[in-house]
Chain A
Amino acid sequence: MHDLGGVLTRRAFYGLLTLFLLITLVFFVTRFVGDPVAMLAGSDPTEEMLQQIRERLGLDVPVWQQYVTFLGDIVRGDLGDSYSQGVPAVELVAERLPATLLLAVLALLLAIVISIPIGVIAAIRPGSLIDSVARVLAVLGQSVPVFWLAILMIIFFAVNLRILPAGGTGTWQHLVLPAVALSISSVPLTMRLTRSALLEVLNKDYIRTARAKGLREWEVVIKHGLRNALIPIVTVLTLRLGDLIGGAIVLEQVFAYPGLGRLAVQALHVRDFPVIQAFIIVTAAAIILINLIADVIYTVVDPRVRVN
């Protein structure tokens, strides 16, 4: 019996280490390159004003001291106040996070519902018409800029057909176009992966045994095939959630959807660094946490993973 607790502790430690390194990178890159003081002071600042702002932001002490203070603040969950809005940056991010997560999770579910059945059909009948069409669509889907596809969808469904709103928020109709557009970025990969994972499993001996037992074909494919092919699929899907959040950031601009992305892009335009830092740290922490949970789930579910 392998030491499950040990494996998970090590993974959690690596996750924290990764987050710590990222925070360090973000801190030094912003301090090294950006100059928030000049920006806050406006035009023609006096030396006195500059000094006041530096003191208020804690920028008047040596960098290593700022770094230690910064780490201490993060541990307490304090990432500073927004330069432009004057409220805690963490609050701003926390307020917007659910909207973006909702969009990403909806897109993930849609991607699963669309891509797994197509992948299964393509694996059962490799070389068939459906397989070929799916392959072409997958190649196209990986080459298309999603924000542009979203605009095409707005032109078609909102401008021409007038059946869905072009942007904004409030009702479930507002979520349809953004979620569908976002899911399209994940469908090609998931579909190809389902196909190849299932094809591999279907060549195994136990599938032949299942067929020899006289099971119906769908039972062989779903119960014995798909179940065993699910692990690589689930792994890649959880890893996709990070890219989905990234995609949501861009799509929120297209649809004027009030999530993290709009907050971040506004903050980036005015170089509101506390908000930018909070955005990056919270997003990265969420992604690392999701990966960790995925690790835990399949370590527990699949005994084969533990051996490696």
Chain B
Amino acid sequence: MTSIGTGYDLSNSIFSPDGRNFQVEYAAKAVENAGTSIGIKCEDGIVFATEKLVSSKLLVSGANKRIQTIDRHIGVVSSGLVPDGRHIVNRGRQESKSYKGIFKQPISIPQIASRLGNYVQVYTTANSVRPFGISTIVGGHDSQGYHLYMIEPSGVYWGYQGIAVGKGRQSAKSELEKLKLPGIKVKDAIKEAAKIIYTAHEDFKDKDFELEMSWISEEFTNGRHEFVPEDLLAEAKKYAEEDEDEDDEDDEDDEDEEMAE
């Protein structure tokens, strides 16, 4: 980064002469060094999965969840600074409640994505604050079907069929592309998601992690956002671990992709 030392990267909301906001770019770096999270839009639902890095053996396993719920029909997972992820969900819950208070119906997914995107954008425009150090995957079910969005630290948000954020995003994204989304069933997607997170963990080989997964499906969860039940999670982990052993020889290919970045 040749621009370091020019002074334009010290303050939020100040453009550099070539039109960049460095604080926002640094926030994106915080995401790039965090555990991988993915979201998959399926024919019949949404699946979230995250690689929760465990920083201490003393932490209670299975607790300290990273996938969160904004409303019964909206799930969220974010990679980056954990408290920022909690804050944005808090805001999402306020927005959802306010929408329901006025319109007496659950907020739609495009609407909540838009409101959160706008909220994040505001934090790139003021000197007194810093941008969010997270990329947030928001997905859910509403009267128009299933939706999946990802919000970046800049506030930009796009709709996706499948998306990965965090350190292992490159390999995860190329795996997602192979799935031919959204032509996949949630039950299969759970297995694939587990496999993708296990593959993405190659980038954090030295650290312990827990696989956390949730889903939304009209058929299996009644359109609500819920954690994947124990038996399905165990099955998915088994599938991922089996596959990991086979993939050991393919490791070199993965590294090639990493270089292409």
Chain A partners chain B? no
